[in-house]
Structure 1
């Protein structure tokens, strides 16, 4: 049956999933667009609902007949779909995915990215994509933007569906968990002018092949002092003095990929 009214209960039910509370209560996330849908297929994830327009269904009829039961598919007009999604020009599909379908966090990761109170959805999504490319085994989040926010999911280009992550409600909870991981070096970036009395090294001089946790802080205030104090190593990213610091998403790329580079040259 084709849903033609914006007042249909489906619309309000799915729009509620744009809110953090709705995602938490229903344990569901919304994936807007064909790209994220293709990632769902590639990863073998099982959606709870697929909301599509007649045109999209017609263009992909063989795919849907092969993979999905008709009971999963909700057929809606483009106008109704626009009333649900956050994108201005949806391409015809919205996937509803149970959070339980996402990857399980490993107990003893050897490469860990810890993000402290990141606020910008674009930064978080970009970091997810970079982390996955660099071989990060788990992402730990202390507060900040919801990782299932639609803008985060789009910016991650699907990486959010492959990268195991856990969220911590407090710094003390995160500290307890990180201290339980024995033998892991804890890395924080440093601005030399602010840490002149501490031993620092350019990031490429660090042995990234060891079990490593990289800490990155809030865009404005940086890393929580309690987290900063437990870091075992400080690294720098040399750059022109014409700027004081780098955007967290930009700074993360050379740091994360250095581990991958060192592994390649050691073969």
Structure 2
């Protein structure tokens, strides 16, 4: 094993920082950063390739180091780093001492392998990695078949999205596409589209049947869905608000809609 890395000027450490800070570097190198033993274990269980791992022995106990080695590939490079250096590259407080380079599973919309009756969560122009990560956790919990992001303003495998999703970005297929491609693809596959929007024409979300092929579309917290996308969808739905505010944050609203679809499908399955 190489000597522990103790200088922040080490070329590998400097590259880590570039990958953290610049989506252009992540795209150019075909890599992202996964921090945390739990997240890395989830990524490996999903078949994600991890070429390099950095471990701080002062933060990760020996037993957990052995646990980590068991989930890594035999050819994964392993580097130990000092606590001072690790604290420089870690992007969250209270890190457990594991940080890795991973090759994200980039997919295109036509490559999605969906069941006959898919449940899809769609985000338009998402720009906050934390919101994307929270929706991915919902998608995993609801066992949605994919998360599709139209015209994203953040890359899907932003390290902060991975962190906030607790690794669920690897457990649910996630795809970036355009509004036009999404709509055409949904029509081609007979998928009904439901736009969540503050619109006079919107009807309560409980008024609809989500047991068939379904795509639930959510916009940004600041602006919502674009008028063009709302107009192109089959239905416009709303979560009725009983208090002073007129909407929920996007991750909470997505969870409400997704689990209503799950509830309906579970009831149908029980009856059958």
TM-score, with normalisation over the residues of structure 1? 0.87
Q: CA RMSD in A?
A: 2.4
Q: What SS does structure 2 have at the residue aligned with 1:21?
A: helix
Question: Which residue in 2 is equivalent to 1:186?
Answer: 193
Unpaired stretches in structure 2, ≥5 consecutive residues: none
Unpaired stretches in structure 1, ≥5 consecutive residues: none
Choose from 10, 21, 24 the match for 2:24: 21
User: Is the 1:112–1:136 Cα contact (8 Å) retained in structure 2?
Assistant: yes
Corresponding position: 1:177 with 2:185: yes
1:61 Cα deviation from its structure 2 partner: 4.3
User: Is the 1:114–1:215 Cα contact (8 Å) retained in structure 2?
Assistant: yes
Matches within 5 A, 1:38-77: 38-55=41-58, 56=60, 58-64=62-68, 66-68=70-72, 69=74, 72-77=77-82
Name the CA shift for 1:187/1:65 in 2 (closer, same or farther; >3 Å). Answer: closer
Q: What SS does structure 2 have at the residue aligned with 1:74?
A: strand
Distance of 2:160 and 2:71 partners within structure 1: 27
Q: What SS does structure 2 have at the residue aligned with 1:265?
A: helix
User: Is the 2:133–2:161 Cα contact (8 Å) retained in structure 1?
Assistant: yes
User: Is the 1:81–1:90 Cα contact (8 Å) retained in structure 2?
Assistant: no
Distance of 2:119 and 2:69 partners within structure 1: 40
User: Is the 1:53–1:77 Cα contact (8 Å) retained in structure 2?
Assistant: yes
Question: Which residue in 2 is equivalent to 1:239?
Answer: 241
1:201 Cα deviation from its structure 2 partner: 3.4
1:190 Cα deviation from its structure 2 partner: 3.5
User: Is the 2:53–2:76 Cα contact (8 Å) retained in structure 1?
Assistant: no
Distance of 1:205 and 1:214 partners within structure 2: 14
1:236 Cα deviation from its structure 2 partner: 2.2
Question: Which residue in 2 is equivalent to 1:158?
Answer: 167
Q: What SS does structure 2 have at the residue aligned with 1:260?
A: helix
TM-score, with normalisation over the residues of structure 2? 0.86
Matched length: 260
Distance of 1:236 and 1:80 partners within structure 2: 48
User: For 1:187-215, what per-residue CA distance to the aligned partner results, in whole angstroms no more than 9, with x for missing partners?
Assistant: 01243xx41xx3x4322231111101111
1:75 Cα deviation from its structure 2 partner: 1.1
Question: Which residue in 1 is equivalent to 2:176?
Answer: 167
1:171 Cα deviation from its structure 2 partner: 3.1
Is 61-70 or 240-249 further displaced after alignment?
61-70
1:47 Cα deviation from its structure 2 partner: 1.0
Corresponding position: 1:135 with 2:154: no
